[in-house]
Amino acid sequence: MTETAKTEAELQSQINEWFESIELPFVRHPTLDNGSVPDFGLMLADGITPWALIEIKLGLSLSALTVKDAADYFEQCLKYRLVTNLPVFLGPFFVNNFSISHFFCGGSKSSAVAAFSALAGRADVGLFFIKENNFDYPRKWSGLALTMRQFKVVRYEFNHDKYNVYPESKIKMVAINNAASKKVRE
């Protein structure tokens, strides 16, 4: 692949190829009970048990995402989350390094991405980052991170095994149907 993806389908294909090359357990376009089709389903190491979904959007940018687009994407991701009871990650956001804490800790006051992360995380919707050395060449992507509720759920970087994290079981989900006051009292 020598060009930047021009369509969402091309980007999905590039990510599919990259996931295969790094041996990430996934399925492409899983069909949900309501007929919806997210872009990727992530599996635990057994290759059978789903633990998360990824929704791909072309052209996501840390500096240019609008609040309106973030709200639209959140609505789509939340629908997947409610049907599957799995966390959903929106991306990819391409970054040069993983010093991205201000985007998933609610930091930058002027960032729709930080606001999305802070609010959407309360409903098990997170962010999908790709560390890229050369955006035009997926084979040169050097890592990924999935973040939600102020922590990295997944981190994978070539040649940095001590920092790599991947869930060994389904991650704890937010109890959406409980009363807010119940959370405070427990």
Q: Residue 67 is encoded by which pair of tokens?
A: 């609040």
Q: Bridge partners of 54?
A: 40, 89
Does 1 reside within a domain?
A: no
d(CA 10, CA 30): 18
Does 53 reside within a domain?
A: yes
Question: What CATH number is associated with residue 32?
Answer: 3.40.1350
Mean pLDDT of 115-121: 87
Which is nearest to 60 in space by CA: 9, 128, 14?
128
Does 154 reside within a domain?
A: yes
Does 3 reside within a domain?
A: no
Does 2 reside within a domain?
A: no
State pTM to two decimals: 0.88
pLDDT tens readout for residues 73-115: 999 999 999 999 999 999 999 888 776 555 555 555 568 888 8
Contact 20, 43 (CB under 8 A): no
Query: What is the SS3 assignment for 120?
Result: helix
Does 164 reside within a domain?
A: yes
Which is nearest to 130 in space by CA: 121, 119, 139?
139
Contact 55, 86 (CB under 8 A): no
Does 52 reside within a domain?
A: yes
Number of domains in the chain: 1
Does 129 reside within a domain?
A: yes
pLDDT tens readout for residues 23-53: 999 999 999 999 999 999 999 999 999 999 9
Residue numbers of the domain that contains 175: 8-185
